[in-house]
Copies of this chain bind each other. A is one copy, B any other.
Amino acid sequence: MSEIERVGVSLDKKLLGKFDEHAHKQGYSNRSEAIRDLIRERLSQEQLTRPNAKAVAGIFLVYDHHSSTLTTKLMHLQHNHLLHIIASTHIHLDHHNCLEIITVKGKVKEIQMLADKITCLKGVNICQTNMISTDE
């Protein structure tokens, strides 16, 4: 990334002590990095509240692969949303259950709509979406 700026932050000593302890325990070697991560996280969360913000997401679905028509329907859904799908990873959890992670790119509202449709499919037991803002 581009230029770096150094800014000063005034903090109550006790609050600073507690934050340093927390950051150290989590594994940070550097206080600046811990504060930068708080800032990035907040900005990303804020972006994701806007339906038109651009995002990349992983849609996680657990389904029973014995469910006869589900795989066809899933394939069909993905092809109708062809533009956004980047990749998909398939993992065998146990004899019945598969985990599939579908990675998609698009607007927040479009990703949510695809995730909703997948959630509703019979045979899909769990569907969770993890989104990250990619807006500049």
Question: Which of B2, B16, B27, B31 is the one whose CB lies under 8 Å from A116?
Answer: B27
Q: In the complex, which residues of chain B have a beta carbon less than 8 angstroms from the beta carbon of A1?
A: 12, 14-15, 64, 96
With A1-B12, A14-B1 given, is the CB distance from A128 to B132 under 8 Å? yes
Q: In the complex, which residues of chain B have a beta carbon less than 8 angstroms from the beta carbon of A125?
A: 37, 40
Asked if A83 CB lies within 8 Å of chain B CBs, one says: no
With A4-B11, A22-B43 given, is the CB distance from A103 to B89 under 8 Å? yes
Asked if A134 CB lies within 8 Å of chain B CBs, one says: yes
- Count how many chain A residues have C-beta atoms less than 8 Å from C-beta atoms of the other chain: 68
Let me know if A15 and B27 touch, CB within 8 A. Answer: no
With A130-B128, A132-B126 given, is the CB distance from A16 to B27 under 8 Å? no
Question: Which of B16, B39, B62, B129 is the one whose CB lies under 8 Å from A7?
Answer: B16
Give chain A interface residues in 16-68, CB to chain B under 8 Å.
Answer: 16, 18-19, 22, 26-44, 46, 56, 58, 60, 62, 64
Residue pairs across A and B with Cβ atoms less than 8 A apart, 18 shown, are A4-B13, A5-B11, A5-B16, A7-B9, A9-B35, A11-B36, A11-B39, A15-B36, A18-B43, A19-B42, A27-B119, A28-B120, A60-B130, A62-B132, A89-B103, A93-B134, A99-B103, A99-B132
